[in-house]
Amino acid sequence: MGLEEAHRELKIAPDEFDEVAAEVGRTLDFFEVPPAEKGEVLAAFAAHKDEVTTGYQDAH
Protein backbone atom coordinates (compact mmCIF):
# COMPACT_ATOMS: atom_id res chain seq x y z
CA MET A 1 0.00 0.00 0.00
CA GLY A 2 1.32 3.47 -0.88
CA LEU A 3 1.41 6.44 1.49
CA GLU A 4 -1.57 8.12 -0.18
CA GLU A 5 -3.81 5.09 0.34
CA ALA A 6 -2.48 4.45 3.87
CA HIS A 7 -3.45 7.98 5.00
CA ARG A 8 -6.39 8.93 2.78
CA GLU A 9 -9.16 8.03 5.24
CA LEU A 10 -7.40 9.96 8.05
CA LYS A 11 -8.03 13.27 6.21
CA ILE A 12 -4.94 14.91 7.74
CA ALA A 13 -4.95 18.70 7.15
CA PRO A 14 -1.72 20.42 6.07
CA ASP A 15 -1.73 22.41 9.35
CA GLU A 16 -2.10 19.20 11.35
CA PHE A 17 0.77 17.67 9.42
CA ASP A 18 2.94 20.71 10.19
CA GLU A 19 2.11 20.50 13.91
CA VAL A 20 3.10 16.82 14.01
CA ALA A 21 6.38 17.78 12.31
CA ALA A 22 6.91 20.52 14.94
CA GLU A 23 6.27 18.00 17.72
CA VAL A 24 8.81 15.63 16.16
CA GLY A 25 11.27 18.54 16.07
CA ARG A 26 10.66 19.36 19.75
CA THR A 27 11.15 15.68 20.61
CA LEU A 28 14.46 15.55 18.75
CA ASP A 29 15.53 18.68 20.66
CA PHE A 30 14.54 17.09 23.98
CA PHE A 31 16.82 14.13 23.23
CA GLU A 32 19.56 16.53 22.04
CA VAL A 33 19.74 15.13 18.52
CA PRO A 34 22.33 17.24 16.66
CA PRO A 35 21.08 19.82 14.12
CA ALA A 36 22.28 17.91 11.02
CA GLU A 37 20.45 14.71 11.94
CA LYS A 38 17.41 16.63 13.13
CA GLY A 39 17.28 18.35 9.74
CA GLU A 40 17.52 15.03 7.90
CA VAL A 41 14.63 13.53 9.86
CA LEU A 42 12.38 16.56 9.43
CA ALA A 43 13.20 16.80 5.71
CA ALA A 44 12.38 13.11 5.21
CA PHE A 45 9.05 13.62 7.03
CA ALA A 46 8.15 16.79 5.14
CA ALA A 47 9.00 15.18 1.78
CA HIS A 48 5.80 13.12 2.06
CA LYS A 49 3.42 15.91 3.08
CA ASP A 50 1.49 15.91 -0.21
CA GLU A 51 0.88 12.15 -0.13
CA VAL A 52 -0.10 12.07 3.55
CA THR A 53 -2.50 15.06 3.31
CA THR A 54 -4.13 14.03 0.01
CA GLY A 55 -7.29 12.75 1.76
CA TYR A 56 -7.91 16.18 3.29
CA GLN A 57 -7.18 17.94 0.02
CA ASP A 58 -9.60 15.66 -1.87
CA ALA A 59 -12.38 16.57 0.59
CA HIS A 60 -11.80 20.35 0.37
Rule CB under 6 A: which residues touch ligand HEM?
Answer: 1, 3, 6-7, 10, 12, 16-17, 20, 45, 48, 52
Minimum CB–partner distance for residue 22 and ligand HEM (Å): 11
Q: Which residue lies nearer to ligand HEM by CB, 14 or 33?
A: 14
- DSSP alpha helix (H) spans, 1-60: 3-8, 14-30, 35-46, 49-52, 54-59
C-alpha count within 13 angstroms, C-beta hemisphere, residue 16: 11
Minimum CB–partner distance for residue 3 and ligand HEM (Å): 6
